Amino acid sequence: MSLEWKKSVIAVLGLLFLGSLVLIQKLEVDRRAVEAKLVAEPIVVPAASRQCVDCHAQSTPGLVDHWKDSTHAHKGVGCVECHQAEKGDADGFDHYGAHVAAIVTPMDCGRCHPDEAKEFGASHHAKGGNILASLDNLLAEVVEGSRSPMNPHAPTPGRPDVTSVNGLASVEVGCKQCHGSKVGLLATDGRSITVDDLKPDKHGKPTNTAILADVQRRDGKPLLHSGSWPNTGIGRINLDGSLGSCSACHSRHDFSARRARQPENCGKCHLGPDHPQKEIYEESKHGVAYRDLKDHMNLDAKDWVLGDDYSQAPTCATCHMSGNLRNGGKVTHDPGERISWTNRPPVSLGMDTDKNHAVIKESDPAKRAAAIADGGDSWQAKRQRMTDVCMHCHTQDYVTSFYEQYDDLVVLYNEKFAKPGQAIVAALRAQKLLTPQEFDEEIEWTWYYLWHHEGRRARHGASMMAPDYTHWHGMFEVAERFYVELIPQARELAAHAAASGKQAEADAVTKVIDEILARPEHVWQDKGH
């Protein structure tokens, strides 16, 4: 090989080497581009919370991990920002140099999220804790349990510690875990010191500070009454007087917007025989599409605006809370803002609300209009907000006709069964053929089943397009309950009254029943005479 030839070979090889370096450079550039998207932003533990994180990463590592995956962690919101208490807070305590409280309330969250806290505070959700004197509560406290502690009636082998029975267990573990407890500090005598005793001012500071001396403490930390905590019920009544619990939907300690957008989250409470919204949603085309397309729904998006971030399927949050293109992306933390019927009571009511966000029960149209005008909100306005959501995927005609179908079902239920049922029970009560005590007579259970379980299933089924719930789990059972149980039981009560000398009362009730059954929608029955 001649020298000149060799030199040319080297020149070519040198260029090839250069070429491979260029290739390397391209790989490097590509890699950077990919990594810029892949690499998760590092977490910063804020200086004030570093000690908390160091210690809790050992003692409660899961909790710290949840926080590390949260948006809070990425924005430098640490432990003390939420848990910090001020001197004078009822449940504050010194904890390794910080003054903190275990329970974070909407008042705490509202320091940084004021709009969300305000909307939530106005919602029916926030008032969920005020069931404490309702029919449902009577069931759990009295019928299922006992308002005062009981004695055990026979020993429990292996558990000699069972020396008394907490009659409120069903309320505390059942009702209040959804509705929210009235948070209480454990007093030295075992009673619960609640917001009613503390009488907090508008900043949440207790005005009755003397009572704090009664609080049981361990290493300075005030103990909470186990009947009221742990609790993430959505209407929790907190020691600082605030209502609700943000973690009911957003979960501690990752405070996930993503989770709150998914129906499983609402399904902790909105399910079961009395209001199976979760099951209804799953039966509907909406739920079916969600299950199929969930992975494409961009659930991690910052704002999650319908029509912009996703449009595959709606979840509970989509229709009732989240922002959409037609409303400018405005999220509301008051799910009642888009609901035009309340199907909660025995007879459905139009959702006109007053300035306190309470449903207007007034029947005079002028007074209703006045209450709406005075800072209230009409059902039509609410329906329009919901229609805005629907119209991302459906035409105006389609939505209007859907609402006609829904209205028709609600009105049918109201007129054929609910108002008559209500009238019959009212007549029995008016004639004193029923005791004032609820649930001690069979017909009271019958009526409760009719409206509280079956009637709601029918109406909710219609509201969210689940035909099976509307019909078989709904109207079919309502009809059966009405014709096969309610009417015969009412007649039997009247007959029994007549036999025991209360002929006038019996006649009054029978008249109400007969008038109802004489209506055209009920005359289908062939009475055989």
Partner 1 sequence: MNGPAARLRNFLRERLPVDGEQLRALTNEPVPHHLKHWWFCLGGTPAYLFVVMIVTGILLAFWYEATPTRAWESVRVISEDVAYGWFLRSVHRWAATLMVAAVVLHQMRVFFTGAYRRPRELNWLIGMGLLVCTLMAGFTGYSLVYEQLSYWGATVAANLADNVPVIGGLLKSFLLGGDDYNAHTLSRFFVLHGAILPVTMIGLIALHVTLIRLHGVAEMKFRRDEATAPRFFNFFPDHLLTELTIGLVLMILLCVLASIFPVPIGPRADPLSTPEVIKPEWFFYVAFRWLKLWSERAAFLSLGAIVVVMAAWPFIDGWIRRKRPGSEASVFVGIVAVLAILGLTVWEALVAH
Partner 2 sequence: MTLSLLASYGTFAAMAGRFLLPTGGRPRRWLLVSDLGSFRAGATRTFVAPTGERIVIARRAAGDASGGDDRGAPALDEFVALSSTCPHLGCQVTWQPQETRFFCPCHNGTFAPDGSPTGGPPLEANQSLPRYPLRIDAGLLYIEVPLADGAAT
Percentages (nearest 5) of helix, strand, coil residues in the chain:
55, 5, 40
Give the one residue of 29, 34, 112, 143 binding partner 2; rule: CB under 8 A: 112
User: Cα separation of 423 and 508, whole Å?
Assistant: 12
How many CB atoms are located within 10 Å of the residue 161 CB?
A: 7
Site size for partner 1, by CB under 8 A?
A: 18
Q: Which does 1 bind (CB under 5 to 8 A by kind): partner 1, partner 2, none?
A: partner 1
Give the DSSP letter of residue 175.
I
Q: Is 1 in the site for partner 1 (CB under 8 A)?
A: yes
Residue 157 Cβ vs partner 1, minimum distance, rounded to whole Å? 43
Using rule CB under 8 A, residue 210 touches partner 2: no
How far apart are CB 66 and partner 1 at their closest, in Å?
24
Closest CB 210 distance from partner 1, rounded Å: 54
Segment lying near partner 2 (by CB under 8 A), choices 11-19, 239-247, 336-344, 458-466: 11-19
Give the nearest distance from C-beta 62 to partner 1 in angstroms: 21
Q: Least distance in Å: CB of 53 to partner 1?
A: 19
What count of other Cβ atoms lies within 10 Å of the Cβ of residue 26? 10
What residues numbered 82-111 form the site for partner 2, per CB under 8 A? 111
β-strands 217-218, 221-222: how paired? antiparallel
How many CB atoms within 10 Å of residue 334?
A: 21
CB of 31 to partner 1, least distance (A): 7
CB of 72 to partner 2, least distance (A): 8
In whole angstroms, what is the distance from residue 428 CA to residue 487 CA? 12
* Closest CA relative to residue 260, chosen from 310, 214, 316: 316
Return the one option of partner 2, partner 1, none that residue 31 interacts with (CB less than 5 to 8 A, by type). partner 1
Residues 124-183 that bind partner 1 (CB under 8 A): none
- With CB cut-offs between 5 and 8 Å by kind, which of partner 1, partner 2, none does residue 35 bind? partner 1
Rg (C-alpha) for the chain, rounded Å, is 31
CB of residue 122 to partner 2, shortest distance in Å? 19
Interacting partner of 293 out of partner 1, partner 2, none (Cβ under 5 to 8 A depending on kind)? none
Distance CA 429, CA 436 (A): 8
Show the site string, 406-445: x = touches partner 1 by CB under 8 A, - = not.
----------------------------------------
Q: Do 444 and 486 form a contact (C-beta atoms < 8 A)?
A: no
218 versus 302: smaller Cβ distance to partner 2: 302
Tokens of 84: 């910090």
Looking at the Cβ atoms of 34 and 495, the one nearer to partner 1 is 34
- The DSSP symbol for 525 reads S
Binding segment for partner 2 among 4-12, 199-207, 291-299, 351-359 (CB under 8 A)?
A: 4-12
- Widest CA span in the chain: 135
Residues contacting residue 142 through CB under 8 Å, at least 6 positions apart: 439
**Paired strand residues for 182:** 237
Task: Give the number of residues in contact with partner 2, rule: CB under 8 A.
Answer: 30
For partner 2, give the closer residue by CB, 17 or 398: 17
Please identify, using beta-carbon distances, which residue of 35 and 161 lies nearer to partner 1: 35
What residue 27 binds from partner 1, partner 2, none (CB within 5 to 8 A, per partner kind)? partner 1
Cα angle for residues 409, 415, 418 (degrees, 5° grid): 95
C-alpha 61/C-alpha 75 separation (Å) is: 20
Task: Please identify which residue in the block is written with the tokens 């409660």.
Answer: 60
**Residue 47 or 518 with smaller CB distance to partner 2:** 47
Distance CA(441)–CA(493), nearest Å, equals 10
* CA neighbor of 240 nearest in space, from 340, 149, 117, 68: 117
> Taking Cα atoms as reference points, which of 507, 506, 449 lies closest to residue 480?
449
DSSP 373: H
By CB under 8 A, is residue 12 in contact with partner 2?
A: yes
Give the nearest distance from C-beta 26 to partner 2 in angstroms: 12
189 binds, among partner 1, partner 2, none (CB under 5 to 8 A by kind): none
Around Cβ 32, how many Cβ atoms within 10 Å?
9
CB of 276 to partner 2, least distance (A): 37
Touching partner 2, residues 26-55 (CB under 8 A):
41-48
Which C-beta is closer to partner 1: that of 28 or that of 196? 28
Smallest gap from residue 10 Cβ to partner 1 (A): 5
Residues 6+ apart with CB under 8 A from 246: 104, 106, 109, 116, 117, 120, 255
Least distance (Å) between residue 17 CB and partner 2:
4
Nearest Cα residue to 513 out of 425, 451, 447: 425
Footprint of partner 1 on 3-62 (CB under 8 A): 3, 6-7, 9-10, 13-14, 16-17, 20-21, 23-24, 27-28, 31, 35
Round to whole Å and give the CA distance between 242 and 122: 12
- 349-350 and 341-342 as β-strands: parallel, antiparallel, unpaired? antiparallel
Phi then psi for 455, rounded to 5 degrees? Answer: -65, -40
Q: Does the protein bind partner 2 through residue 114 (CB under 8 A)?
A: yes
Which stretches of the chain bind partner 2, using CB under 8 A? 7-8, 10-15, 17-18, 21-22, 24-25, 41-48, 68, 75-77, 81, 111-112, 114
Interface residue list for partner 1 (CB under 8 A): 1, 3, 6-7, 9-10, 13-14, 16-17, 20-21, 23-24, 27-28, 31, 35
